[in-house]
Amino acid sequence: MNMRFLETFVWVARLKSFRLTAEKLFSTQASISSRIAALEDELGVQLFLRDSKGVTLTAQGQRVLEYAEQMMDTLQAMKQSISNVGDTRGLIRIGAMDTVMHTWLSSFVARIMECYPAVEIELTADTARNLCDQLQKGYLDIIFQTDEVRADSVRNQALAQYPVQWVVSSGSIFDRAYPSLDDLTRERVITFSKNSRPHQDLLNMLHASNIASPRVSCVNSVAAMTRLIRDGFGIGALPPALVADELRQGALAMLDDVPVPPVMDIVATWRAGVGLELVDSVVALVHEVIAEYARSMGPDMVRPVDPGAPVLVSESA
């Protein structure tokens, strides 16, 4: 039995799309269809049902998938047993939200390069919503953002928490005492992109405090957010880890004695299964990197999550 055909079958089952599988395997949609047709002829069963919404496994296809994944696992184990980690080759496509890009992602990439020098790395910076969409479509292997993704064969693990504070330009009209949260939110508040988790958490906090119409400006770039705050456009609601240098230099300051927004959670999300063992190994490195970053920054900036915390595996979308 052709192992390439089995690998193709497993990826079509995961991605539920011949087109996405072709992109994943650097092939053509016609070639993917041909491989599946050949496998169906060899097994004498129909593996997929095709309609306008995509493809789904038949009952026979589901049974074949279990054996196919076992066979791919065995093949991968054999390859690993006769190769050195340093010789491991492949491509890891990593997506991260701006907060991660501006804090520990460079250290993480350096750690990957140290442990797997022959592995190619592609990086994508985007909003959490777009990253989740790209992961589910098979365009990314690992993403670091704020939300769990519930989809077939997808794993989620909490990595860290970033405390969020009110940050202002030092000496500006916003750099003063505020009697209450209501008083503060009469000024313009600058935070993350609209409908992101930090934005929604902030709105929920203000709603719970009976603040109905806050002046909130949403920005999807940490650099732009920082510049706007420094230029006195408003009061920032963001993790101080993102502006640690500006705080240390005195260009920015944090407000005291006002209820702060909820912490920002950072989650690792990745596809697991046959042929993705390298992804699992790479994810295992991230806890070490975050722990080192947290030690250098302190608990007021970032709090790592216990790496022994359970991994959430989604079985259905």
CA-to-CA distance for 185 and 262, rounded, in angstroms?
15
Domain boundaries, the chain: 3-81, 85-161+264-314, 165-254
| C-alpha closest to that of 164 among 132, 130, 188, 199 | 199
Whole-number pLDDT of residue 316:
40
CA-to-CA distance for 118 and 125, rounded, in angstroms?
23
CA-to-CA distance for 200 and 206, rounded, in angstroms?
10
Whole-number pLDDT of residue 283:
87
Question: CA-based angle 88:144:219, to the nearest 5?
Answer: 140
Query: Containing H/E element for 167?
Result: strand 165-169
Tokens 């935070």 found at: 191
* Structural contact between residues 198 and 237, judged by C-beta atoms closer than 8 angstroms: yes
* Structural contact between residues 201 and 216, judged by C-beta atoms closer than 8 angstroms: no
CA-to-CA distance for 312 and 147, rounded, in angstroms?
12
A 10 A CB-CB count for 282 gives 24
CATH topology for 85-161+264-314 is D-Maltodextrin-Binding Protein; domain 2 (3.40.190)
Residue 173: exposure state from Cβ atoms within 10 A (0-12, 13-18, ≥19): exposed
Whole-number pLDDT of residue 275:
64
CATH topology for 3-81 is Arc Repressor Mutant, subunit A (1.10.10)
Whole-number pLDDT of residue 317:
34
3-81 and 85-161+264-314, same CATH topology: no
CATH node for 165-254: 3.40.190.10
pTM, rounded to two decimals: 0.71
96's CB contacts (< 8 A; 6+ apart) are: 105, 123, 124, 125, 131, 143, 144, 145
A 10 A CB-CB count for 176 gives 10
Q: Where are the beta strands (DSSP E) in 192-258?
A: 216-218, 235-238, 252-254
Q: How far is CA 63 from CA 46, 69, 75, 76, in A?
A: 11, 10, 19, 21
User: Would you state the structure tokens that stand for residue 225, as one six-digit string?
Assistant: 């957010």
Give the phi and the psi of residue 308 in degrees, each rounded to 5. Answer: -85, 0
Region of residue 171 (phi > 0: left; psi between -120 and 50: alpha; otherwise: beta): left
| C-alpha closest to that of 150 among 262, 267, 72, 266 | 267
User: First CA to last CA across the chain, in angstroms?
Assistant: 31
Give the phi and the psi of residue 88 in degrees, each rounded to 5. Answer: -60, 130
Across the chain, which has 317 residues, the per-10-residue mean pLDDT values are: 81 85 82 88 88 84 84 69 58 92 92 88 91 89 91 87 96 95 94 93 94 90 94 96 95 94 94 75 88 91 78 46
Whole-number pLDDT of residue 261:
95
